[in-house]
Amino acid sequence: MSGLADEFKALADATRLHIIYLLMTRGEMCVCEFMELLDATQSNVSFHLKTLKYAGFITARKEGKWMFYSLNRKALEQFKTEFGETFDLDKWPESSRCSSCDIPACKQAEVRSEEKH
């Protein structure tokens, strides 16, 4: 589950989500395009691109002095699938109430609760 947490961290920023959206809708883009569309500095855009690249959500290629970024659709699909399998609501019980269990702390709390009544 730590992989999912790391991926969520990479996506937990409005600018990074906007970058993902731009790449989904426009295709490959260079840093200067992001700067204009996001109204951001080169260093700010580069920071967000680095975070998304490290998480595997985007790829980069160099052409001359320019860096071009594109969406890693396979990684996004894998993230979507892993999230869906981990948090499939059909697998969870309807009730969210705690049931009796064999965990010592739960048993102690249950005994204390019964003593109060």
Q: Residues 68-95: pLDDT tens digits?
A: 999 999 999 999 888 888 877 777 766 6
Instruction: Fill in the amino acid letter for 51.
Output: T
CB neighbour list of residue 98: distance below 8 Å, 6 or more residues apart: 106
The residue extents of the domains of the chain are 2-90
pTM for the whole thing?
A: 0.73
Torsion of CA 61, 39, 48, 74, to 10 degrees: -60
Closest CA to 3 of 52, 55, 51: 55
Q: Indicate the average pLDDT of the chain.
A: 86
Q: Residues 35-56: pLDDT tens digits?
A: 999 999 999 999 999 999 999 9
Q: Tell me the CATH number for domain 2-90.
A: 1.10.10.10
Contact 20, 10 (CB under 8 A): no
**How far, in Å, CA of 70 to CA of 92, rounded?**
36
